[in-house]
Each structure stands twice: as structure tokens, then as C-alpha cells.
Structure 1
Amino acid sequence: MSTTRAEEHQGRWQEIVADPSLQELPYKVETNQRGQIVLSPHRPDHSYAQGDIIELLYEHGEEGRPFPKFPLATEAGVRVPDVVWVTPERREEMDKAGDPPTLAPEICIEVMSENNDWDEMHSKRTLYLEAGAEEVWVVTEEGAVRFFADEETEASEVLPEFPEHV
């Protein structure tokens, strides 16, 4: 039985999670396609945006639940969307897809910051959709929410009442 690249990244992620020297890092931790650790520093405005998104998801996403900083094994390493939204049914499927799962939540959300750009967001968007996300949202530094499925849409099809601005 052959393993996929995403499954190989699951093993590397387990090594990282078990490493005591990495337990208290004040950074968002991801891996790249070579399994190398990528660190991103946190900023208060980024955390504020994540909190606002989570609050709005609770208001508009009755059938699912939001989670912050959710690890997802992709073909190009373990990525950690800033916020995800997942239904109970998808969560059951994800729980069967390894740790971290190779199956994405229905919605993966990234918050833009000075540490990333639209090329990176396009790459992450592609990875999340390939892993099964129905939508990927990108929240700009100004708070505008951009919704993507196969292409950019005016609003979310999964949660159509979610506002265009956070």
C-alpha cells in the first residue's frame, strides 16, 4: 500500500507535536512540502480578527462549529488555517482521516497579515480545496471577507448570511 504525500506529512507532524522543545513556541507552526517547520509570529490584530470571525461563525453557522488554528495535512505539508468551520458529519469523516486529518473542514479561513501575500493565499486556497474544503475565505487586513470555491464568489454558499466584512 502506498502512502500519499499528505499521509507522509502526518508522520512528520506527529514528531513535531511530540517534541518538548517546540511545545511553548509563541508562533503559528506549519510545515512546508519538505517537512521543515515554518513559524509565523502572532500579532494582536490577527488574534482579534480570528476572535471576531469565530463569533460571527457561531451566529451564522448553526449546523457546524468553528475552531481556531486547525492543522490539516496537505500534499505540500501541514497547513494551519486561522479558523475553520466544520459540521458534526464532516468532523466524523475527518477523525477517520488521520492526525492531522487529510480531509479539510467545509470552510477554511485565512486572515491576511503583513507576513503573507496573495500568492501564498492562492497556494493555501488550492491546497485546502484539493483536501476537500468546500470554501476558502480570506479576510484582508481591512476586514473584507473574500469567498472562494472553484472561483471567487460574492458570498458564501455554505453560510450565505455571513457578512462581507469582519
Structure 2
Amino acid sequence: MNWSDVLQEPTLQDIPFKIEMNEWGKIVLSPASNKHGMLQAEIVGFLREHRKPGKIITECSIDTPKGVKVADVAWASIDFFRKYGFDTPYLEAPEICVEIISPSNSTQEMQEKTTLYLSKGAKEVWICDENGLLVVYSYQGLLEDSNFFPNFPRKIEF
């Protein structure tokens, strides 16, 4: 199964799970919680409030060497959109990919996703834990602040 098959499968349209694919083309489901949704909405709100020229994407699918991964939130520059438009999944990661940790996520999984997004061109990966604490990673490792959004919040209040 490939990503376009997943998108067209009627039985997968209204399930309360985040869908990704692993490197063997198998579907991986992650349950969604209301807390996760609120954190996602607050991050989108921050990005919109501190708008830079670009687009905010929720549930952004990115083709990686380990299958299609879906960033909870992404921010992409105008140049990125000129190049990739509405391709699904993106063959390159937008400049910022955000993952919100769910109870089902392991530390190893988040480290792997961070590495995958950076290897596909992301400049920053923001990781938000269940308490709203945010950290930013780049190829240099853990960053003190976002290079794109200097007013980056250390904690999402909700």
C-alpha cells in the first residue's frame, strides 16, 4: 500500500487516529487525545500570531526513508510552496516540523522522527511534550531559540 492508497481508502476517512506508514508500507495508527488537539491548536495559533511569509500546515505528510511520517504541525516558506505546492506526501520536509508527544510515543520514536525530518530538509524540529514544554532541534542539536521564530515559547499554556 502507498500513501495515495491510504488517502483514497474510504474506511480510513473518519477514524480518530493519526495515520502514518512505516518503511514496509504498513499503516501505523496513533490515537488522538483532546489534549493533543489543544496543544496542536495553540502551536498553530502561535505561528499565525507571529506570522512570517509562509504557510502553516497541520497533519503534514512527508515521505521519509522509514515511510510516510505526518508532522502534527509544519511551517513552510513561500519558496517551499512554490516548489512543492500541494504535493502529498511532500518529498522534502518543510522548514519547521512540529511533533506533539502522545502517551503512545517513545523517546526513541521522537528521536527517529527528528532525524528523519532533518534528513529530509527540515531546518528545525519542535518537540512538544504532554505538559506543553517545547524544545527545538536542528542539525546542530538542541537550540536555545528558534531561528525562524525568535519569540518561540518555552511552554504552551492551555
- Structure 1 partner of 2:113: 124
Query: What is the alpha-carbon distance in structure 2 between the residues aligned to residue 94 and residue 120 of structure 1?
Result: 27
Corresponding residue SS for 2:48: helix
Query: What is the alpha-carbon distance in structure 1 between the residues aligned to residue 9 and residue 129 of structure 2?
Result: 33
Asked if residue 54 in structure 1 is aligned to residue 44 in structure 2, the reply is yes
- Structure 2 matches for 1:1-166, cutoff 5 A? 12-95=2-85, 98-150=87-139, 151-166=141-156
| Unmatched tracts of structure 2, length 5 or more | none
| Unmatched tracts of structure 1, length 5 or more | 1-10
Alignment: residue pair count:
155
Query: What is the alpha-carbon distance in structure 2 between the residues aligned to residue 12 and residue 101 of structure 1?
Result: 13
CA RMSD of aligned residues (A): 1.4
Query: What is the alpha-carbon distance in structure 1 between the residues aligned to residue 82 and residue 15 of structure 2?
Result: 30
Contact 1:57/1:65 (8 A) holds in 2: no
Runs of 4+ in 1 over 4 A off after TM superposition: none
Shift of 1:61: 3.0
TM-score, normalising length: structure 1: 0.88
Query: What is the alpha-carbon distance in structure 2 between the residues aligned to residue 80 and residue 30 of structure 1?
Result: 6
Identity of paired residues, percent? 36
- Structure 2 partner of 1:4: none
Corresponding residue SS for 1:51: helix
Shift of 1:135: 0.4
Shift of 1:159: 1.3
Structure with a larger share of its residues in strand: 2
